[in-house]
Chains A and B, each alone.
Chain A
Amino acid sequence: MKIQDRKHHRPEWVMERMQRSIDALLGDQAQSQAFDRPPPPPGSLDKYEGELSEQQLAHLLRRCLTGVRPEDMRRFEGASLDEVLDALFTPQSDPAPPVNDYVDREEGEVDPQVPYGETWINHNWDTNWESGRTTSLKTWWLRLFLNQEASIHMRMHLFLHSLLVIQTWDIFYGKVSYNYWNTLYQSCFGSFRTLMKDITIDAGMLWYLNGAANSKEAPDENYARELQELFCIGKGPDSGYTEGDVQMAAKVLTGWKVSWPDAQVSFAAWDHDTSDKQFSAFYGNRVISGRSGQAGQEETDDLLDMIFDVNETAKYLARRLYTFFVYPEIDAATESEVIAPLADQIRSNGYNLSEALRTLLSSQHFMHEHAIGAIIKNPIDDMIGAMRMLGAGISNDQELDDRYLQSLGLLWQMGDLGLMIGDPPSVAGWPAHYQMPQYDRSWITTTTITRKAIHTDSLLYWGFWTPGELINADVLAFAQRLEDPQDPNRLIDQIVTLCFGLPITQESKDSLKEILLSGQATDDYWTNAWYEWEGDPDNEMNRSLVENRLKSLLQVMLQSAEYYLG
């Protein structure tokens, strides 16, 4: 399969990399087709009224947060489903914006617009510093995953990013990419209809999908097409928009311009197509009447109203929520039992996706045991999730240079695992969210699984590589955050609950315990070693006895197939 470049100016190396990953994907696909596909989880959208088991709580947290920490589990112990969701659906506070941490001060570099340590988000394009600012944005973004509060905010933001894609390297303008980021962030708990207006006339999007080049003399259909195909309506069985609709939408959208170099968006009436736009039967043969002058921009609202008036839009958004948060494959039963009623809710609540998502996550369907572990973790959940669980972070209490270098290492290695934040491989987002029949399986290839193992091994043993200081997991501090770490059985049970998508048998747990006990038969050997270390924590010898065995245990657990199930 040859990939199609939806955008025209993608650098060759990007194309090459994409082609390689698609090839790798198809290679695996041949294998996976040999499996019988199990049916999706059963159950309706009706609210789950049962008790929230420990396993269900961990399942919910895994789908809402990035990795689950012992503290997250403890905080919600004994809470009702509604109490947990109340907390998870509370927005995070606004993060302090990214700052100039990208100049190499040892080399005497200076960004003349932005003092070191000050934010760059309001500054105009500077050919020398957009690379640094874009990297600063992306590394800051990763740190927000790592340091997130117990809120679904970052996950919802990732959902919107994977749906309404721009590529920040393509934009190459820090201020513009940040504004895109912030538009999504501020919209996570609001109306998707409002967000679509904002994103349609977002400077980054107007550049990325050529809206700013869409002129009445030479319409560019790029955005008009993706608005329908990827953002709002999709290609589902009941989708019926036509090529004519794409052309008409492009005409409606003519006139939006982005000024240079300050990237302000304005409506240029002189370049707006003032003719009437006739849409197809799919849109009820609606006509958007052409308007001249600044009134021409009202047509954009009319276009969005028309799109949000068709039933398919809510269904498409319901499916996107479902495949991102619950399970990537939808069968007829799921479509009628879950998607249809969820779409009804979306339509009736004014396209508030977070409210709909809350309904979905509290449903019998989501809480069914077949939904648990049913999706392969994306690299953020996988790698940053492991770091967050273990408490292996990037400290904010260090020099900005050092923090930047550490974050840079993380950014590169996330790219290696197949998820470069801010730069999905195409306007369609990541293949895991749309590419049948692979879907989430596409995160796992022989290459990524190998790299992931090296990354977690280094995190545990010799330090996760960065151009600055290595990042190390303090496995003893992690164990201390668990309850009764001196009891090898309790210790293993808790880690299994935190990070395995499937429960494991007693036999498997016993095998894990063999590592902690170095093959000895008695639990006391671990318990005593633990207490001896706790009683004299500065004793290196005592420390190494428990530390070596914990590292070995975590190494096996983080490489278990069960770990990859989110």
Chain B
Amino acid sequence: MKRRSFLSNAAKGVVIPSLMGKMGMNALVPGLSPWASAMSAAGDGDQVLVLVYLNGGNDGLNTVVPLDQLSNLNSSRPLVALPDASLLRLEGTNVGLHPSLVEFKELFDENRLQIIQNVGYPDQNFSHFRSTDIWMSGSSSDELVTSGWAGRYLDEEFPGYPFDYPNESMTDPLAIEIGYGSSLMLQGPSSNMGMVIQDPSWFYNLVNNVEDPAPDTPAGDRLRFVRLVARQSQQYGTVVRDAADAAPAQLDYPENNRLAEQLKIVSRLIAGGLKTRVYVVSYGQFDTHDMQVEIGNTTEGSHAYQLMQVSQAIKAFMDDLDHLNIGDRVMGMTFSEFGRRIISNASYGTDHGSAAPLFLFGNQVAGGVLGDNPEIPRNATYADNLEMQYDFRSVYASIMHQWLCLDESTVGSLMMGDFEQLSVSTGINCLTSSTSEASAKKKLLVSASPNPTPGLTKIDFESQGGILELSILDLSGRSIRPIVKSVFPKGKHTTMIDLTMLPSGNYFVLLRQERIRQTAKLVKL
């Protein structure tokens, strides 16, 4: 039995009883790109974000090499440093790419690839698990957040998921993750917001209606039956299959490239008309403690091989997107839980480190190299690590505001703090944001008094007209108690709540109305 024979049930978020049968994607004709005509009007809601997780902690210093630090680099990491002459120098900058990143250089030269230097967070955690959770949740180092940043974004855009979905305005999975289990990234405040496609073969089995093998015994008979029903129950499975069928012919992707296999699926689904906003793919074993490079030839080895795969896969993906006329709608980002140490170790590898560069790719990225070259100490020791220049949450916040077109106050509440906006996008896609939203964000829409309170407190809030929802969140952003959800006419309103039963501590009152989301801090004595 293959592992795909599990019912990943892609389920998780996907197991939603649904109306899909009534509103299929049948209107989409294979061979005709449904987006061809819509492209000129690309705006709010059409943008897709593709997150590429480089698993294990990618060595940033051998990926984007600071050319002004070469001599210190060579002395600090003699066993892994790349020969100067091998580097792919980027014109107009002070950095060179790893020689495997040939396609990345092309993309950079076309202004379709952007480098952000020294991304990390204060008080670096060196555990894979913890640091991965930090990157996926968007928390600070010492804070425990049980939802993912992309999950919170989707919860904001699609309130009520999963119970009211699919519906007429959103027929498709909100997010698709290719990977075995569901990651923290797409975890929303209460449920996972994504559909999981456990691996490419699962996808092709779905698309091609292939049955997984099962033994010819009574148990095997039941196994086939349960899988069949599970597949029938996945209404999103039908949507995904329809989208896959509707997509025009794709360009070729490199073979034997696990990242390319995944991105090929992503491109096919976008071209097939899925309105899915976020895709998460992952690749690699970048945890290169030993034999990161070949002995005697640092341009070869496992790191070089994996970077080549990444570079080729992303280039093929972007070429395919352009071929399918959807290139302008997609932005991607690579990330990894940390960079690696400055010094090399005796096993021709590098140990867990801190800040590292990341890549944004897409036709609409701002381009160039953002940030300064890291400074490498003359005699680096095991204790030395790279300083962070940009908080990773700044990158997320910038993508949310400049690519996903959320207003800054919403971004602030989703990221649980205000983070500096970095230039990541040409910005043409967010020109349509409404003025009423803009004016609403400046006003204080919700407040509590008395605050702090021993129990009873009055909530004043203002409605823009229509359905408005108030709830109490704990510090991790988890909704712990609904207050009210109802239609409120435009204007000011008041309600009383009783917090006597809540433990003392800090909470938020969250106001939600359409795309407005505002929180007020509330202290229970």
Contacts and interface: CB of A to CB of B under 8 A. Distances in A.
Interface of A: 28, 31-32, 35-38, 40-41, 327, 329, 369-376, 440-441, 444-447, 449-451, 453-454, 457, 461-462, 501-502, 504-505, 507-508, 510-512, 514-515, 518-522, 525, 529, 540-541, 544-545, 548-549, 552-553, 555-556, 559-562, 564-565
B233 A507 contact: no
B225 A35 contact: yes
B191 A461 contact: yes
A32 B228 CA distance: 9
Contacts of B198: 511
Q: Which 10 A-B pairs have the closest CB atoms?
A: A374-B218, A373-B219, A511-B3, A446-B233, A515-B181, A453-B15, A552-B181, A559-B9, A561-B226, A545-B129
B12 A457 contact: yes
Contacts of B7: 559-561
Contacts of B229: 28, 444-446, 449
Given A32-B225, A508-B6, A522-B287, 12 more contacts: A28-B229, A376-B226, A441-B222, A462-B191, A502-B219, A505-B2, A505-B3, A519-B55, A519-B282, A525-B129, A544-B133, A564-B222
B331 to A, nearest CB: 24
B519 interface: no
B56 A520 contact: yes
A67 B179 CA distance: 29
A461 B415 CA distance: 22
Contact of A375 (B222, B282, B287): B222
Interface of B: 1-3, 5-9, 11-12, 15-17, 55-56, 127-130, 132-133, 142, 144, 146, 179-184, 190-192, 198, 215-230, 232-233, 282, 285, 287
A453 B5 contact: no
A327 B142 CA distance: 54
Contacts of A31: 228, 232
Contacts of A559: 7-9, 11, 15, 230
Given A38-B220, A370-B219, A502-B219, A449 B233 contact: yes
B130 A41 contact: no
A566 B269 CA distance: 37
Contacts of B16: 450
A561 B215 CA distance: 13
A545 B180 contact: no
A323 to B, nearest CB: 12
Contacts of B224: 35
A540 B128 CA distance: 17
If over half of A's interface residues share one DSSP class (helix, strand or loop), that class is named, otherwise mixed; here it is helix
B3 A556 contact: no
Contacts of B179: 519
Given A549-B129, A552-B181, A561-B227, A447 B17 contact: yes
A114 B11 CA distance: 46
Contacts of B130: 541, 545
Nearest to A528: B127
Most chain A beta-carbon neighbours within 10 Å: one of B128, B218, B232:
B218
Contacts of B184: 548
Contacts of B191: 457, 461-462
Nearest to A516: B181
Nearest to A328: B218
Nearest to B282: A519
Contacts of B287: 520-522
Contacts of A510: 3
A520 B55 contact: yes
Contacts of A374: 217-219, 222
Contact of A507 (B2, B217, B218): B2
Given A449-B229, A462-B190, A462-B191, A541 B219 contact: no
Nearest to A541: B144
B2 A540 contact: no
A508 to B, nearest CB: 5
A372 B6 contact: no
16 contacts: A446-B232, A462-B190, A502-B215, A502-B219, A505-B2, A507-B1, A508-B1, A518-B128, A519-B179, A519-B282, A521-B287, A544-B146, A556-B8, A561-B5, A561-B226, A562-B223
